[in-house]
Homo-oligomer: A and B are copies of this chain.
Amino acid sequence: MSDQEKLIEQLFDSEDDLTEKQKKIIIAAIESFAEKGYASTSTSEIAKKAGVAEGTIFRHYKTKKDLLLFIVAPMMAKLLAPFVIKDLNKVLNQKYDRFEDFLRAMIENRLKFLNNNMDLFKILIQEIPFQPELKEQFKEHIVLKVYDRFKQIVEHYQEKGQIIDLPPTRVIRMAASSIFGYLIARNLIFPEVDWDDETEIEETIRFIMHGLSPKR
C-alpha cells in the first residue's frame, strides 16, 4: 500500500489536497477497475475495499465515470508529459547523437513508468475504446502533440542518415509496436515469467535499430 500511495501521490500531485479517504478510494478503484474492468466494478465494492461509505465516493466524484476519468486522465498526461516538453529538438541535438541512444533513454524512462503503473495502463487501454472522453483526449494528446514531436525526432535522425527513409508514421509505428509488444507480453500476457529486463530491452532496441537501419 505504501508503494501504491507513493505512486498515487506522484500521479495526482497537481491536486495536492487529496484527502486520506480520497486516496483510499482511488487506490481501491484502480485495483478493482484493473482486475475486473470498469463496467463490472460496482461502487459499493470500491467503497468496501476503500473502507469508506458509498456516499463518500459520490461526494468526491459526482459519478462513477468521473471517478474513472479522474484516475485515468492524469495517467495519460504524465505518461506523455516528457514528449510534450518544448525544445525537444535542442535537447536531442545536444544529448543524443545516435537514435539508438535516444531510444534507449526513452524506453528506460517510459517503460519504468509504465511498469510501475501497470494497473493504470491496463485501465487506460481497456477503457479508451469505450469512453468517448478518453478517446478524444487520447487522440488529441497522441495524435496532435506526441506524434508531431516524434515526427520531428524521426526526421532529425533520418537527416543524419541513421534511420531508414520511410514515412515517419510508419517508423514510429514499428518502433512503438516493438516497445509496447514487450510491455504487454511482460506485464499482461506472461506476468509470471521471470523477465530479464535489461537483456530484453537491449534486444528490443537492437531489433528496432536493425529493422530501421538505412538500406545498405
Contacts and interface: CB of A to CB of B under 8 A. Distances in A.
A206 B212 CA distance: 9
A182 interface: yes
Contact of A170 (B122, B203, B211): B203
B174 A207 contact: yes
Contacts of A212: 207, 210
B173 A181 contact: yes
Which interface residue of A177, A178, A182 has the most chain B CB atoms within 10 A?
Answer: A177
Interface in A102-145: 122, 126, 129-130
A188 interface: yes
A78 interface: no
Contacts of A185: 173, 177
A175 to B, nearest CB: 9
Given A174-B204, A211-B210, A130 B181 contact: no
Contact of A211 (B37, B188, B211): B211
A53 to B, nearest CB: 14
Contacts of A129: 37, 122, 126, 188
Q: Closest 10 A-B residue pairs measured CB to CB? A: A177-B181, A211-B211, A39-B39, A207-B211, A39-B40, A210-B211, A177-B177, A174-B207, A210-B210, A37-B130
